[in-house]
Structure 1
Amino acid sequence: MKTVHLIAAARPNFMKVAPLWHALRASGEFEPRLIHTGQHYDPNLSDAIFADLSLPQPDFHLGVGSGSHATQTGNVMIGYEKIAIEHRPDWLVVVGDVNSTLACALVGAKLRVPTVHLEAGLRSGDRDMPEEINRLATDVIADVLWTPSPDADANLLAEGIPGTRITRVGNIMLDSFEMVRPEVEAAAEWEAQGVQRGTYGVVTLHRPSNVDGADRLEALVAALIGLQRRIPLVFPVHPRTAARLAQSGMVARLAQAGVRLAEPLPYKRFMSLVLGSRIVITDSGGIQEETTYLGIPCCTLRNNTERPITISQGTNRLVTLATLDRAVDEATGQQYQPRRPEYWDGQTAARCVADLNARSYPVGSKE
């Protein structure tokens, strides 16, 4: 039986890892072992997801916590290298684009452990985003690249990656959603937040470009207050954003305007909130895909997206603070039917396992 190390660091990682863990376990061919780097350490952003997605407690927990990009990346490398040397896997799977993704991929490459990048090939074209650097570097050094969509394949081929290293498996985030969909629908989180289904907007904002600068944050708060006058807003506040709002004294302004501020929500409750919403306003990545899958309009408050298929085939649109009002009005005035890209079907984890079985070269064969 081949051992597979699955790296989880941030909330979206857990949602991508969970279906793969279950599929590997069920195959009888692989023994999955879960490594939690501790990059996200808020219980609602990490620990609760294990219960929501029926994951066991991690086999290893690095507990790296916060820090600069260099500090975090270095600490993950140091911690995971010890584990990989002592408990060498047959395969290493890294997911997404956080610092832990690149750090563990570097360890795998240097120790000559066959390394897979799940959700490979996504590109925003914006190297001011730390995640873009992580994506580019991880895809260069990983042995196998599992992509979610045709544009990701094209990006990798354009960068000179051999096609033999690329397998399009689809969007594994949607496997997670389908695993727990009945419970998500039953949760009725909108009732807990005091809003009616289909009438409200969900806000998720955490990127430094939106929340770190005082002037930008003030403008963002003003824009949300303006929107609240037309559509009730529920805002589960990321810890980073909560700290910035508290420092600037803007929590009271949002609350007084009627914006419903909430703690970060566990996965099932959060997806229930999204499922019942009229629109989502975000700067996150995965939720652009989930809203496309569900046919819910999404306004992404960024200059670019590494998921352009959510615009060309989905319900997503890029907005600025200047265009947000108009975009929300236009989006909420339309009816959407889900247009799901190929392989966005809840069966991605099975394709991942099949690809490992098809490749299945032994440890050390790259040398």
Structure 2
Amino acid sequence: MAATSTETKTAAPAAKPAANGGEGLGLRLLRRWGTITIIVLVGIGFSVSSPWFFTVSNFNNILFSMIVSCLVSMGLTYVVIAGSFDLSIGLTVTTVSIVTAYLIPVVGPWVAIVGALLTAVVIGLLNGLLVTYGRLSGIVVTLGMMFVLGGVNIFLTNGYQIAVAYTEKPFLYIGQGTIGPVAVPVIILLCVFVLAHLLATKTKVGHYITAVGDNPMAAFYSGIKVYHWVILSFMLSSFMSGVGGVILTSISTSAQPSGNSNYLLEAFAAVFLGATIMGRGKPHVLGTLLGVFFLYMVSAGMSMLGFPFAMRQLFIGLVLILAVGANALLNREEIHLKFI
């Protein structure tokens, strides 16, 4: 009887992991495929509601409309991975667009593009230096930079748009040209995405930025130059916003002193929504791309069904809140110590 009692006590704990293992499998499936399943179901719902939704033309329109927002969002991903925030990305797009339009008549389109992208990199460098060596909050620094850029933009333009001459055909081809049925900006977006994804997943740049974001103190004691990688993440963010600004100028054949503030909300919504995709619980470039696509897919579907623009803005705000909540749920085993 004693032996039987001992076997019973030994066998009872063995049954518990089996039950937990079953729950773990279901939770893993939900984490990995839950968000993608929702995206697919929403797409199917819009396809049933509107015969024009699931068409090649609409798909091309969605891809084309999300180009600038996607570039801005992918750049922001690096900063969020590093554990900070960049609120100046929308105004960086505007500033780069203005610089591009200003420089084209003076130095030609290609030098203008280089000068505009260098401007974006300098903005990111200043943000990074103030956050690291200046020991300031990323939110405070980039909020201040947002106001600075807003003032600079108004000063440079006097509140008026700057037109790009229609004779600048090589430059306009960047935003308006096509290669076969595919728009050139879409091709640029895909190329930038591949490079950004490889940089984040296959190089020491991505690994070190991730390490800094996960545990900056551990990264420091491991010999990683924490400040350098945080600064680089801000520079990458501003650079990709700059690429978006150049493309936006080419698409619209002008630079507007305002009107790009929506990119900030969309970018944060896409980054945190993307963090829930594939169950990682951490921001990643592929998830951000899919997150932007989901936002613009829903926006296109709601537009076809006659929803007002205010409802679409409301939806993006709700997605941001729910995505952050889902991200916190995926990382609930971690101690919550970030309150910025």
Task: Identify, as 1 or 2, the structure richer in helix.
Answer: 2
Which bracket does the TM-score occupy, shorter chain normalised? under 0.3
Q: Which protein shows a greater Rg?
A: 2
Return the TM-score normalized by structure 2. Answer: 0.26
Task: Identify, as 1 or 2, the structure richer in strand.
Answer: 1
